[in-house]
Structure 1
Amino acid sequence: MTTTLAPAVFARTTRGSGPGLLLAHGAGGSIEANYGPIMDGLAAGHTVVGVDLPGAGETPQPDAPLDVEELVDQLVAAADAEGLDTFAVSGYSLGGPVAIRLAARHPERVSSLVLSAAFAHADTRTDLATSIWHQLYETGQHTLLANYLSLMALSEGALNTLNPAQVQAAVEQLAPVIPAGTGDHVDLVRRIDVRADLAGIAVPTLVVVTTADPLISPALQRELAAAIPAAEVAELPTGHLPFAERPQEWLKLISDFLARN
């Protein structure tokens, strides 16, 4: 079995049995926040291993800027610790480029990729959106940030099913639990760039495009898909939070793809 030299130090969640499936979550999220609603379904057919980024879940905050290579090392270390020789990788949002980098560095370990609401780099629009996110977090304006995330993460249709009082109630729930590592995560969103890895991705890949996404535009997601040879594309009519708006449809897309690959 190929192993990594890095010890597994990030907190991880392990569920189920069967073929390996690594999960990489998004900025300002965690494994539970981003994959919790579909975890039972994923674990029904796989040994699911999810790793929380620094400052999320039970993983301590970092003392230096996040480095994608370290995140890849920790995902592989978690797989090693759970006895997984090969595995599929599901990357959501920021977890997408992390998953791509993992597949590029360890092609012999990765059996397939699922990239949801993902990007290879931040375009100007994404950089602007995340710079505001970063500033609101770093200046302690967490209630205003929760309002901003409601606007930028939910689809127009989903947001408009709520009245202002319901939005405010949701904001009041979200603001106190924004992960401590959010600033570090969003900083990495602005810096990460895996475009050079895309042409070399040879494993079966599914790109789930969130077609009503205000944060990571569908155009940027399709640009990613077009650069990966033979990537399959599935369109999901949701905002940036498929686990909140359309969890069962998202689960079915992932499960059906993994069953075929």
Structure 2
Amino acid sequence: MPSTVPAPAVAPLARIVQGSGPGLLLAHGAGGSARDNWGPLLADLAAHRTVVAPDYPGSGDSPYEPGEPTLDEYADRLVAAADEEGLDTFDLAGFSLGAAVAVRIANRHPGRVRSLLLIAGVAGGSARQSTLTELMVGLRDRPAELADLMLTVVLGHSWVDALPADQLAALREGLRSPLPAGFPQQFRLAARTDVRAELASIAVPTLVVGAAEDMLVQPSQHRLLAEGIPGARFVELPSGHLPMVEALPQLREVVMEFVKG
């Protein structure tokens, strides 16, 4: 039977549920949503798994909630979503902040997680990342400046430099879109998250996917996850922080190998 998770005194998280078969729980990144971060892979994943992909509060279809969330809260509420969808055990994939959420789930809910997939993940302990996060949150009401910063640090330079001028202009305009209400909370949580001390206790097969040109969550953070988890396998893709945008074919190949394995 699923482990008991205390019911939160708030509405359940909105989620995408697709497919059939063994469970796969997905944790998205800060400032993203289930569809933003996992959308390009959902159809492939759902062909092999029952996919449950919740939205954090203030992202996607989950309403904003005041206050500062904790990693424990995110972890428990994602597991509560898995419980509500009838998943006993599940494979668990996390992107960016979601990778740290996944590590916390594996430690707080032992026996539920069959395997881990961590993509461009936050490990913690980076003063540079904390400073960059504060800068990005501080620019949330200045969309043009925030868009230029995101273009510089979120997307890999090789991919951006190869864009034709019209596509680059469209990208810059797209980055000025309204931010999700939970953006500041989620980025502040990413800045203060540190799961390095928890990695050695992970006892399930783990695949860590790094992004070689990531300047938001630097590749050293991805390697910390791989080096800290016993027996973890490490694969690095030629992209910035968004391999689902910049290196989708390569990411799909790696992710499907994980799912089928």
TM-score range, shorter chain: over 0.9
Deviation at 1:165, TM superposition (A): 4.8
Describe how 1:132-151 pairs up with structure 2 within 5 A: 132-137=135-140, 140-151=141-152
Segments of 5+ residues of structure 1 without an aligned counterpart are none
CA distance in 1, matches of 2:56, 2:18: 18
Q: Which amino acid aligns with 1:181?
A: G
Give the equivalent residue in structure 1 for 2:172: 171
Give the equivalent residue in structure 2 for 1:100: 103
Q: Which amino acid aligns with 2:14?
A: A
Change (3 A) 1:165 1:122: farther
Give the equivalent residue in structure 2 for 1:56: 59
More moved, 161-170 vs 12-21: 161-170
Give the equivalent residue in structure 1 for 2:253: 252
| Preserved contact between residue 90 and residue 114 of structure 1 (Cα < 8 Å) | yes
Q: What TM-score results when the alignment is normalised by the length of structure 1?
A: 0.95
- What's the CA shift string for 1:95-138, capped at 9, x where partnerless? 0100000001112000000000002114022112212111111x
Q: Which amino acid aligns with 1:5?
A: P
Describe how 1:1-261 pairs up with structure 2 within 5 A: 1=1, 2-7=3-8, 9-137=12-140, 140-163=141-164, 165-260=166-261
Deviation at 1:81, TM superposition (A): 0.8
More moved, 157-166 vs 56-65: 157-166
Q: Which amino acid aligns with 2:190?
A: V
SS at structure 1 position matched to 2:177 = helix
Query: How many pairs were matched up?
Result: 258
SS at structure 1 position matched to 2:42 = helix
Deviation at 1:163, TM superposition (A): 4.6
> RMSD of the alignment, in Å?
1.4
CA distance in 1, matches of 2:228, 2:251: 23
Deviation at 1:168, TM superposition (A): 3.1
More moved, 210-219 vs 87-96: 210-219
Q: Which amino acid aligns with 1:197?
A: E
Segments of 5+ residues of structure 2 without an aligned counterpart are none
SS at structure 2 position matched to 1:199 = helix
| Preserved contact between residue 122 and residue 189 of structure 1 (Cα < 8 Å) | no
Shift >3 Å, 4+ stretches: 163-166
More moved, 116-125 vs 200-209: 116-125
More moved, 58-67 vs 169-178: 169-178
CA distance in 2, matches of 1:16, 1:150: 34
Deviation at 1:193, TM superposition (A): 1.1
CA distance in 1, matches of 2:70, 2:214: 26
Q: Which amino acid aligns with 1:43?
A: A
| Preserved contact between residue 56 and residue 180 of structure 1 (Cα < 8 Å) | yes
Identity of aligned residues (%): 45
Q: What TM-score results when the alignment is normalised by the length of structure 2?
A: 0.95
